[in-house]
């Protein structure tokens, strides 16, 4: 057996069974070169950047405040003053930015009804607003970039109205009426940013709000209604330094709550914000 193996080994050696072949033996083959060619295409969306930021804001309202009935006839004249501090945070990618704002404040309203009654209203307001903005850069002009908005806002009002000159409320036979109202409103809007230069510009938008409102009185009576309202916001902004910005503007908001009553306020606001792009 051993001799047979030796013989096989010998035969193997004779026929080079154990020789290694040259793995690198080569023939001329097709050479392939890979190249890249970058074409700049205006139809291709620019790669977006993330942006994150926030702002502190204050909405100040002072001025006349009149009430009308459903026929449009004036039922009371008066004035309003107050402020609502708040803040917002936002983050975005490319042309989309998602913003959440929270505001909470109170208003003082003095009214003189046409029937002779005088009243004072302490109104507390709490507001949540979430908005998605799409900058339509494809339609940009050098000093004009339009955008679309969609979002949702909820306003909670808690107010106490005191009749001051001997009048009392019919429903509770008291001088004081306490009620809460909640407006819940999806919204869409359209606007534009109008940059004057690298640091300074304007922003203006109009929004349509479909609101559902519920008003509840201190005696348990509840009224609901809905309607279409709107708002207009105009802002001037200044980019101060490295993402720090200051904005000041005017805002008018009107919500139609149908049988639950309307809401409207107009005033000025200021914001100090910071944004970081990465």
Partner 1 sequence: MKDFLCHIILSVAFLLLLCNPAYAAANKAILIGISQYADPDINCLAYADEDVRTFSSILTNFAGYDSSDIITLLNQKATKENIRRAITDAVNSSQKNPIDHFILMFAGHGLPPNISSNTTNSFLAPYDAIRNQFYRESRESPLANNETFINKAWLTKQLSTIKAKSIILILDSCYSGARNFGELFAENLGFNVGFAGGKDTDRGVVIVQKKNSLGPLESRIAFIASSNEDQPSAEYQELKHGALSYCIFEFINAVRKETDDNRREEITIGSMYSNIRTLFDKVEVKGSPLSAFHQPVLFSIPNYDDVSSMMFISIQGGKKPKVKKGTLEIVTDPEGAEVSVDGVQTGKKSNCTLELTEGKHIISLFIPATNFNHNFIVDIKEGYEDRKKISLRGSLEVESYTEKMWQKTTKLGVYVDNKFLGETGLVVNDLVAGTHVLKVSADNVAKERHIEIRPASPLLVRYKIIREAAPKTKDPVGPVVF
Q: Hey, which residues does 126 pair with through a beta bridge?
A: 104, 156
Q: Which of 1, 17, 24, 156 binds partner 1 (CB under 8 A)?
A: 24
Q: Does 22 engage in binding with partner 1 (CB under 8 A)?
A: yes
Q: Which of 20, 64, 115, 173 binds partner 1 (CB under 8 A)?
A: 20
- Say how far apart CA 263 and CA 50 lie, in whole Å: 36
Q: Does 42 engage in binding with partner 1 (CB under 8 A)?
A: yes
Closest CA to 192 of 255, 129, 139: 139
Closest CA to 86 of 62, 102, 71: 102
Q: Does 14 engage in binding with partner 1 (CB under 8 A)?
A: yes
Beta carbon of residue 20, minimum distance to partner 1 (angstroms, whole number): 8
Beta carbon of residue 90, minimum distance to partner 1 (angstroms, whole number): 5
User: In the range 126-185, which residues lie near partner 1 by CB under 8 A?
Assistant: 131, 133, 135, 137, 140-145
Nearer to partner 1, 41 or 73 (CB): 41
Q: Does 26 engage in binding with partner 1 (CB under 8 A)?
A: yes
User: In the range 194-233, which residues lie near partner 1 by CB under 8 A?
Assistant: 195, 198-199, 201, 203
- Contact letters (x/-) for partner 1, 94-133, by CB under 8 A? ---x-x-------------------------------x-x
Pairing state of beta strands 176-195 and 200-217?
Answer: antiparallel
Q: Tokens 């709490």 label which residue?
A: 126
Count the alpha carbons within 13 Å of 159 in the hemisphere toward its beta carbon. 21
Q: Which of 125, 211, 247, 262 binds partner 1 (CB under 8 A)?
A: 247
Q: Which residues of 56-67 are buried (b: 16+ CB within 10 A; e: fewer)?
A: ebbbebeeebeb
Q: Does 32 engage in binding with partner 1 (CB under 8 A)?
A: yes
Q: Does 5 engage in binding with partner 1 (CB under 8 A)?
A: no
Long-range pairs of 75-79 with CB within 8 A, sequence gap ≥ 24: 75/113, 75/114, 76/111, 76/112, 76/113, 76/114, 76/119, 77/111, 77/112, 78/109, 78/110, 78/111, 78/112, 79/109, 79/110
E strand map for 114-243: 118-135, 145-163, 176-195, 200-217, 222-241
Nearer to partner 1, 22 or 173 (CB): 22
Site residues, partner 1 (CB under 8 A): 3, 6-7, 10-11, 13-14, 16, 19-20, 22-26, 28-42, 44-47, 53, 55, 88, 90, 92, 97, 99, 131, 133, 135, 137, 140-145, 193, 195, 198-199, 201, 203, 237, 239, 243, 245, 247, 273-275, 277
């Amino acid at each position: 057996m051993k001799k047979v193996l030796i013989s096989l080994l010998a035969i193997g050696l004779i026929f080079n069974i154990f020789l290694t072949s040259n793995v690198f033996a080569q023939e001329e083959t097709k050479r392939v070169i890979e190249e890249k060619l970058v074409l700049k295409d205006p139809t291709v969306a620019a790669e977006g950047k993330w942006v994150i930021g926030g702002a502190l804001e204050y909405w100040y309202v002072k001025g006349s405040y009149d009430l009308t009935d459903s026929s449009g006839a004036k039922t009371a004249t008066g004035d309003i003053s107050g402020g609502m501090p708040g803040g917002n945070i936002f983050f975005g990618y490319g042309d989309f930015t998602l913003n959440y704002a929270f505001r909470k404040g109170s208003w003082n309203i003095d009214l003189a009804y046409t029937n002779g009654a005088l009243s004072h209203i302490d109104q507390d307001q709490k507001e949540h607003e979430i908005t998605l903005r799409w900058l339509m850069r494809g339609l940009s002009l050098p000093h004009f970039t339009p955008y679309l908005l969609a979002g949702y806002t909820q306003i909670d009002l808690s107010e106490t109205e005191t009749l001051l000159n001997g009048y009392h409320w019919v429903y509770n036979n008291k001088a004081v009426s306490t009620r809460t109202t909640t407006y819940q409103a999806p919204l869409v809007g359209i606007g534009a940013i109008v940059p004057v230069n690298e640091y300074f510009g304007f922003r203006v938008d109009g929004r349509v709000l479909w609101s559902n409102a519920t008003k509840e009185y201190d005696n348990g009576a509840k009224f609901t209604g809905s309607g279409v309202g709107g708002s207009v916001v105009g802002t001037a902004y200044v980019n101060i330094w490295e993402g720090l910005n200051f904005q000041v503007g005017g805002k008018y908001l009107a919500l139609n709550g149908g049988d639950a009553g309307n809401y409207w306020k107009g005033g000025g606001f200021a914001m100090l914000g910071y944004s970081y792009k990465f």
